[in-house]
Structures are given as structure tokens and as C-alpha cells.
Amino acid sequence: MTKKLDILRIAIAQLNPTVGDVAGNLAKAREARADAARQGADLVLYTELFLAGYPPEDLVLKPAFLKACEKAAQDFAADTADGGPGVIIGTPLKRKSGTHNSIVFADGGKIIAERYKLDLPNYGEFDEKRVFQAGPEIQGPVNFRGVRLGIPICEDIWGEVGICETLAESGAEILLVPNGSPYYRAKIDVRHQVVIRQVIECGLPIIYANQLGGQDELIFDGASFAIGADKTLAFQMSQFEDAVDVTTWKRTDDGWACAEGPMSKIPEREEADYRACMLGLRDYVNKNGFKNVVLGLSGGIDSAICAALAVDALGEERLRAVMMPYRYTSKDSLKDAEDCARALGCRYDIVPIFEPVEGFLHALTQLFEGTKEGITEENLQSRARGSILMAISNKFGSMVVTTGNKSEMSVGYATLYGDMNGGFNPIKDLYKMQVYALSRWRNSHVPPGALGPSGEVIPKNIIDKAPSAELRENQTDQDSLPPYPVLDDILECLVENEMGVDDIVARGHDRVTVTRIEHLLYIAEYKRRQAAPGVKITRKNFGRDRRYPITNRFRDRG
């Protein structure tokens, strides 16, 4: 008969896997287990689909991929024959009942249990029903060294299915939940409330282990935690940082309680958003094998904060900033761009675009004869810059960082094959006023893990001056758009909250302006479909969360 433990040391492996790198993910898991063993852990809890990386999307449809993941799980299970910690690790498994989002529980050199996710999310950024089948039934707790552990997987605790309550009724003593929960602003509070609700229903402590790292547009922020049976925060791990933390649980007359664990401070809003953007850019560049990046540094706020993010994420030696002046580029912009590059310590080149733009105009003279100059000629400037950046990318293998914010992307204030050129956009999901807020915050703070310098890295003049694309004489963004505080509020109502025009007008906005912005939002969909991926920060980003048709005649007229 197995002796019951009165103390259980559970390590939470909050790590950064790479989708598809099964061998690399297994190596990370092994390293974390060795670390946990040195800390005296009895059990290591990994995150959702850790061996595959999350989300693996249609990789799950490849038999070779499934085979590689299961082989890695079996090899890892065999490692536990050394008498060290048991492991709970996520992997896809193909069984007679279908292909499942699963965990493998191993101890003593063998797999002692498998559990399958029951509630497959199919909303927002998730489409698991496309590639997985739900587990056939709720499976009871697993007996681990005399302690009965329930293992719901991620969405199993988010829905109203009653899985946690059923596990408690089946004799579970603690619930351990592997998660792949992406970041959006204030998401930690949402997770805490979800777990508290389940604790109230089932009466058990719940450990919530969350993935870390960037995967395309999604950012996994870690911030693993537990809520005790008394509904208080038992421990809180760090956000945006790798960690293998061992928590100590003790059996009491009232069940299990956490006696020891980390209590990390969670970043405030601007810091969290900035670190999410930084982590997303770093992982996209590094995981895709780019040695360095290049961006157009215009002297404006958007390119300045992207340059700061690139230096913070990758280091000054991995960023090349390029100023590409034309006849409308102001002396202020030239100075501001140079000052920004100097403050960041990155390489700074100047490539004038007068000759290529004039060459385009000359080539089109006969074709454009008798027409007025306008947006077509303005866009030639942007496209010349885009071509130069792509040439640098092709020549030196540098990924182009594109720099359009969410306000501009919403209303189409961006040029296809011009300033939209690029491989990744760290501020794609930040509205203009959020860009300003994060710029001010960065000038006063250096986030943990940042490789950039302290002090003012975005010159004050860039923050203070009126934003302009500088594609014609004395141009400002407000010539064609409402003030950004107004625009951003209207867009947040339309995009994040799906509000009707009447409700937005009731907030104090001009009806003509609201209907115009709604129209611009719809007709710019074709541009957004061709935009580079970028970090998800809000509850509803363009791409994974918001999928509107390009051909769309609907307009809200009340």
C-alpha cells in the first residue's frame, strides 16, 4: 500500500517552448526537471502541449509530428526511473477516440496516466476544434505517491462544464492545471477570477501553470499561480520570465494548503504591455532564425518606439535604423531620428529617396499627364522606402520591422508595399495614444531583461510634436483624421466592443465622424489581410480575433 505524503513539493515549469521543436522542447523539459530535482521537488508540472509547443495548429494533422511528440513523451517518462520527480507534461496524442490535446503523467520510469482535454475552445484566437477531438469523458484523479491529483487542461476550468466539481467528487485533493493562456491587457485578473470561481465550486486548491513566450502573434506571459481552498492567492510566479519554482504543499485537517511558494510582483499596465511587445519581437526574430533587424527611422513616434523595442529585445548591435529623407522631410525629423538612434546606440544610416521617387515620377509622366498630384505621388515615397528596406533585408538577411500602430491599421492610414512592408510589427495592436503612453513609460524605466540603455531613449521632441507622415508640405495626421484621443475611443468602441453607431454617438462623438471611421475601418480590411503579423495586446486584435470579410457592404445606419 502506498504511504500517503503529508508534504508535497510541486515544481511549476514556466518555460518558453518553440512550436515544432520537439527535440528542443524535450531538452528544456529535462533541464527543468533536473533543476526541480535539485530543489527537492516531488513532481514537475509543465504547461499545455509543451512538447509540441502551443498552439501547434495544423501541425497536429501531420502523423509524423504526432509520432515525434509521443516518442518524446515516452522518452521523458523513461527518465523518471531515476527516482527523481514525477512529471505532468502536455503533448498531442492520437488514440482510437481521436487526436487529443493531452497530458502524460509519468513516475517511476513509466506513464501512469493520460488525460485528455474535454472543453476545446473555439473562439477568439483559439480554433482547437479544427484539429482536436474532445476527450470522451471526464477521467478521475491520478494517485501520485498517495495523493489524488485532478488534472483538468486549460479550457476545462474556464467553461461551465463542471469538470473541477466532478473531479472533487471523484476524490481529487488538489487540481493541477496546465495552460496555454495568451496575454492581453489585465488578463491576470481574469485568470484569477476564473480559478476563484472554480475553487468556490469544488472546494479544492488549484495550481495554474501557464506557458511563457511569443508564438507568432500570441504572447504567453507565464504568471503561473495557485488559489488555495480558502480562496486566497497561494503563490504568484513572475510574468514574462522563465522560471522553475518549487512550491511546498502540506496536508492539513482541512485539506492541502500551500506552505511555501513565490509571491512575485506583477507589472502595471504600461510595463506589462511594453514587456509583451518586447518578448513578442524577441521570440519572433530568434525563433525564426534572424540574426538582426532593420527598420525605417522617420523621426516619428511609431518608428522610435519600435527601435527602442528592437534594442531592448535584441541588443543595439542587432538593429540597423535607416532614415530615408525626401523633400518633405523636416529638419526636426532628421535631427530627431539621429538623436533617437544615438540614444539607443544602434547603427544609423541615411539613404535619400529623391532619385528613386523622381525616377518613378519621370517614368509615369506620360501616363499621368493631365492628372492632379495627390495620394498616388505620396504613396510613391512610401513605396520607395519600402523597397529600400526590403533590399537591405535581402542583401544582409535582416528582418524588416514594420511600425504601423493599430489606429492607422484600423482606418487604412498605411501604404501597401510601402510602410507596411516587413516581417513583424511589435506595435500592431497598440492604438496611437497607447504608443505615446508606452514611450513616456520607457523613457523613465528599463524593463527587466531589456538590453537597451536607461534614460531618455525616445527624444522628447518626438513625443511632443504633431504626428505627420511628411508626404506633402506641412502635412499632419490630423489633416485627414480626427484627433487621436477621439479616433482611438471610436475605434475601441467599434473593434474591441462591437458597439453600434448610436451607442458611440451617445458617448459624445459626432455622428458624421463615427460613420466615416466605421466606413474606413471596413474598407481597410484588404490591407490588414496583407499586413505583417504583430503582437496581440488587446482583447481583440486584427487577424486571429477579428475576422471580417473584405467584400462587405454593411454599414450601421441605426
Residues involved in catalysis: 48, 117, 154
Q: Do 364 and 331 touch, CB atoms closer than 8 A?
A: no
- Alpha-helical (H) ranges within 183-330 are 187-202, 269-287, 301-314
- What crossing angle do the helices spanning 269-287 and 301-314 adopt, rounded to 10°? 70
Cell of 14: 514556466
Report the amino acid identity of residue 231. K
Among 94, 64, 60, 75, smallest CA distance to 30 is for 75
How is residue 556 written as a grid cell? 450601421
Distance CA 198, CA 411 (A): 41
- Nearest 5 degrees, angle CA 217-CA 49-CA 116? 130
DSSP annotation of 147 reads E
Among candidate residues 131, 426, 460, 475, the one with its CA nearest the CA of residue 283: 426
Task: Please answer whether residues 486 and 509 qualify as being in contact, where contact means their C-beta atoms are separated by less than 8 angstroms.
Answer: yes
For strand 206-210 and strand 225-227, is the pairing parallel, antiparallel, or unpaired? antiparallel
Q: Would the annotation count 397 as a binding residue?
A: no
Alpha-helical runs (H) found in 1-54: 22-38
Helix, strand or coil, per DSSP, at residue 315: coil
> Is 389 annotated as contributing to ligand binding?
no
Strand duo 319-323 + 347-350: pairing: parallel
Q: Report helix, strand or coil for 175.
A: strand
Question: In what order do the strands lie in the sheet containing 225-227?
Answer: 142-144, 147-150, 174-179, 206-210, 225-227, 233-236
Find out whether 301 is annotated in a ligand binding site.
Answer: yes
408 a known binding residue?
yes
Chain position carrying cell 472546494: 203
Q: Is 296 annotated as a binding residue?
A: yes
123 assigned ligand-binding residue: yes
Between CA 30 and CA 76 the distance in angstroms is 7
Nearest CA to 74 among 114, 46, 16, 116?
Answer: 114
User: Does 428 show up as a binding residue in the annotation?
Assistant: no
10 marked as binding residue:
no
Is 297 annotated as belonging to a binding site?
yes
Q: 217 among the known binding-site residues?
A: no
Dihedral (Cα; 135, 139, 144, 148), 10-degree rounding: 140
Q: Which residues contact 390 (CB under 8 A, 6 or more apart)?
A: 400, 421
CB atoms under 10 Å from CB of 5, counted, come to 15
Question: What's the rounded Cα separation, in Å, for the pair 469 and 467?
Answer: 7
Residue numbers belonging to the annotated binding site for L-glutamine: 123, 181, 187
The binding site for ATP comprises 296-303, 403
Feature table: binding site for deamido-NAD(+): 379, 408, 527
Q: Which residues participate in the annotated binding site? A: 123, 181, 187, 296-303, 379, 403, 408, 527
